[in-house]
Amino acid sequence: MIQKLPLASTAPVLIVGSVAYDTIITPAATQEYILGGSASYSSIAASYFAPVQLVGVVGHDFKKGFIDRFEHHGIDLQGLKISEKEKTFFWKGRYHENFNHRETLVTELNAFESFEPTLPQNYKETAFVMLGTIGPDLQHHVLDQLNGPAYIIADTIELWIDIKRKELEALLPRINLFTIDKREAMMITGETNTIRAGHKLRAMGPETVILKKGEHGALLFHESGLFSIPAYPVTEIEDPTGAGDTFAGALLGYLAAKGSTDFATLKKAMAYATATASITIQAFSMDRLNDAATALIEQRVEELTALTQF
């Protein structure tokens, strides 16, 4: 079992999203059939802060070693369905020199195509929930199954803005915190100014919005004001896949651990999320995040403090 952060508590988080095989090509290396998917990254990240309930689907070909990895992080897999007939969702992508852009080479939905996230009975009252980058109709379906009051974080991707815009817009008033790439925020709002885009997204429903800006950090839009945090300064990026999912998972975990979602707690949560995401991008898959990241997360939060205080 991993060592959790000293601040970790016993309040669980629920994470729904994709669990996938990724094949990643970077200028320096290629790795095939490694662990990927939004729920994988978010869950491994959140596991340092809180107990994790994962809901997703994999195929009959899913490696036992990856199940072991989730279990090593104490992740509850009651909600991970294993399809007997289909293979695991597969994504193959390529990054170019500066890692600012990625190209999808292959997407095979496989078991994910007919995925309907069904919550085990004991997950329905979990108070902190992450809706990973699955289709907005599936995100709605998860919300429909929740019983208690919950703090809901959701993310999305360009695909859903393109083909499920109406469902996505209907989701926004149902969630508390929308974490989204800056570029996608511009797409949804039609804005050219980042600050206006953030305000406009809040007006579409979620009380809080976080715009993720990659190497430029992240911006929080909250009724109490704005907050800006830089990325942790990484000089050697190995594979940026999953940075945003890691960020969201760590954020969720921190909020659950603190049992609070006020402005001050959200700021701190963003520091922890930034630190955790910086570990993800320094290796393929969750290879560095998997390996005793506890001390590193805390050290990087301290460095982020020094980096920003004047």
Q: Determine contact, residues 130/249, Cβ cutoff 8 Å.
A: yes
Q: How far is CA 85 from the centre of its chain?
A: 28
Choice between 121 and 235, CB closer to a second copy:
235
Q: Which residue in 213, 217, 216, 153 sits closest to 183, CA to CA?
A: 213
> Does 199 contact a second copy by CB under 8 A?
yes
Backbone φ and ψ for 252, nearest 5 degrees, come out as -60, -45
Choice between 240 and 244, CB closer to a second copy:
240
Q: How far is the CB of 300 from a second copy (least distance, A)?
A: 13
- In whole angstroms, what is the distance from residue 47 CA to residue 105 CA? 31
> Does 10 contact a second copy by CB under 8 A?
no
Positions of E strands within 17-62: 20-25, 30-36, 52-58
Which tokens in the block code for residue 169? 């817009």
Choice between 100 and 114, CB closer to a second copy:
100
The residue from 228, 260, 283, 298 that contacts a second copy (CB under 8 A) is 228
> Does 122 contact a second copy by CB under 8 A?
no
Q: How far is the CB of 97 from a second copy (least distance, A)?
A: 5
Q: Determine contact, residues 54/48, Cβ cutoff 8 Å.
A: no
- In whole angstroms, what is the distance from residue 158 CA to residue 138 CA? 16
The residue from 65, 84, 121, 192 that contacts a second copy (CB under 8 A) is 192
> Does 309 contact a second copy by CB under 8 A?
yes
> Does 234 contact a second copy by CB under 8 A?
yes
Which tokens in the block code for residue 240? 């940026």
Choice between 10 and 98, CB closer to a second copy:
98
| Cβ atoms < 10 Å from Cβ of 279 | 25
The residue from 163, 226, 292, 295 that contacts a second copy (CB under 8 A) is 226
> Does 307 contact a second copy by CB under 8 A?
yes
Give, as one character, the DSSP assignment of residue 230.
P
Q: How far is CA 220 from the centre of its chain?
A: 16
Q: How far is the CB of 211 from a second copy (least distance, A)?
A: 11
The residue from 193, 291, 292, 299 that contacts a second copy (CB under 8 A) is 193
Number of residues forming the site for a second copy (CB under 8 A) = 36
Q: Of the listed pieces 75-83, 108-116, 145-153, 212-220, which binds a second copy according to CB under 8 A? A: 212-220
- Return the CA Rg of the chain: 18
The residue from 170, 230, 283, 287 that contacts a second copy (CB under 8 A) is 230
Q: Of the listed pieces 60-68, 168-176, 194-202, 248-256, which binds a second copy according to CB under 8 A? A: 194-202
> Does 225 contact a second copy by CB under 8 A?
yes
- In whole angstroms, what is the distance from residue 165 CA to residue 158 CA? 10
- x/- letters, 90..109, toward a second copy (CB under 8 A): -------xxx----------
The SS3 of residue 192 is: coil
Q: Is the dihedral of CA 131, 185, 247, 286 positive or negative?
A: positive
Q: Where in 264-293 is the site for a second copy (CB under 8 A)?
A: 264, 267-268, 270-271
Query: Which residues contact residue 14 at a Cβ distance below 8 angstroms, ignoring those fewer than 6 apart?
Result: 53, 55, 119, 123, 126, 128, 129, 130, 150
Residues near a second copy, by CB under 8 A: 97-99, 192-196, 199, 213, 215-217, 219, 225-230, 233-237, 264, 267-268, 270-271, 305-310
